[in-house]
Every structure is written in C-alpha cells, then in structure tokens.
Chain A
C-alpha cells in the first residue's frame, strides 16, 4: 500500500505513524498537526489541519439530528460517493473544535457514523480530503437541548 503525505500540513516534524506498523497514510494526525487539536474555533482548526485551499461543497451528506436531546452523544452520519481518503469532524460547541479524523483505504464506501459531544448548539463542519487531494466541506447546524461536555 502506498504511503501518502499530507502536503497541506505545516508541522515541521516528519510524518511518523505512532500506532500500528502499517497505517493508511503514515500520518499521525494528532502528532502532525497538534495546533489543530488545540484550536478553539473550527476555522482555526480546519486551517491548521487542511490549510486554506478551496473546499468544494455539496459532495458530502451529513446525517445529524436538527435537535439533539443528549449533547453527550450526538450521532453524526457522513455519506459520500467521492473516494475519500480522510474525513474530519469539527464543531464550535466545545472548548476546542477538532473531534476526530477518520481514514479509509481506496475503494471504501463512505457511510460513516460516530457520536460526538456538544455542550451547546453550534455548526458541525465536515472536511474531507479526496484520494486525489481535493478538499470537500459540508456544514450543518445542530441544536442541543442539554449540553453534554461535562458542563
């Protein structure tokens, strides 16, 4: 399997896989872009992780509740027909924006779901990187009736 480098990441450290010997991208997102994980706002976090290049909208479908009753576990579904290499979730409901970066091998059907914490109502932003390096973005506002981030 070919190892990719995320050219938009600005950290000076070499890309080192911290976990398994065979990883998808040789990029450990937590080590490679530490600023992204500390950033408070989605704009800063997205920029730190993916750069400021153009992001196409309309290619990702977000399935999230309009009103989440339990802010401790808000289900976020992500679907797309594009061959995506990485899919990241950001929000502005918590002290820091970056939630998770998921990576898939070539040929994977993109039909993902996870659960995230949201202390309050905010936008949830998905940024994804295609296998060809193109960036995609999609935003959905999620209202939260009871905050769930230890608040």
Chain B
C-alpha cells in the first residue's frame, strides 16, 4: 500500500493506493485470471473509523482513494486496512505530516 497523510489547515488529506489486481468476473474470463478484488477498505485514527469504502471490481486496478480527516494533528497515526473477496487482508500505517 502507498500512503500519504498531510495536515492542511484543520484537516489531514489522506491518499491511499492499495496494490491489488482488482479483477472482476468479466476481466477474469477475458484475461484468464482469477476473479478477486478488494471489497472493503477502512482507515482509522486510534479507535475512530475516519473513512470506509465498500467496493466492487469497477474501482480501478490498485484502488485509489483521497479523503479528508478532521480532528487530527501532526504525528497522529492513520491505520489503513483492506480485505478482498478471497479473505486476504493487508494493513499499513502512516503518521500525519
């Protein structure tokens, strides 16, 4: 996962790029690959969920999200985790700059 977290005024701008094939049913057939894609991605600061996405295979390969988080300060840690259709998970963290 590639993460960026920068404080801009009152909020932190977070950019997440999860590395995943994000391959749907039709693509798996034409490209003879395995259907699998991230279905949920969550960002938290401490115990607080600050962003959540439920998605399907029509999010681009290497799912990308940019969002703002209020009520944070420099040095706070943003934890991002995702789960895919196969049940695989990934978690990564970044400190807000």
Contact = CB atoms under 8 A, between A and B. Distances in A.
Interface of A: 1, 18-20, 22-24, 28-30, 37, 72-74, 91, 94-96, 98-105, 107-117, 148-151
Q: Is the interface of A mostly helix, strand, loop or mixed?
A: loop
Interface in B1-37: 10-11, 13, 23-27, 30-31
Contacts of B95: none
Interface residues of B, number: 40
Given A20-B81, A30-B40, A105-B49, A95 B26 contact: yes
7 contacts: A19-B40, A100-B54, A102-B51, A102-B52, A102-B67, A107-B70, A149-B27
A150 B24 contact: yes
Contacts, number: 129
Contact of A113 (B31, B48, B54, B65): B65
A150 B23 CA distance: 9
B59 A20 contact: no
Given A116-B58, A116-B60, A117-B59, A18 B68 contact: no
A94 B23 CA distance: 13
B44 A109 contact: no
A101 B42 CA distance: 12
A102 to B, nearest CB: 5
B39 interface: yes
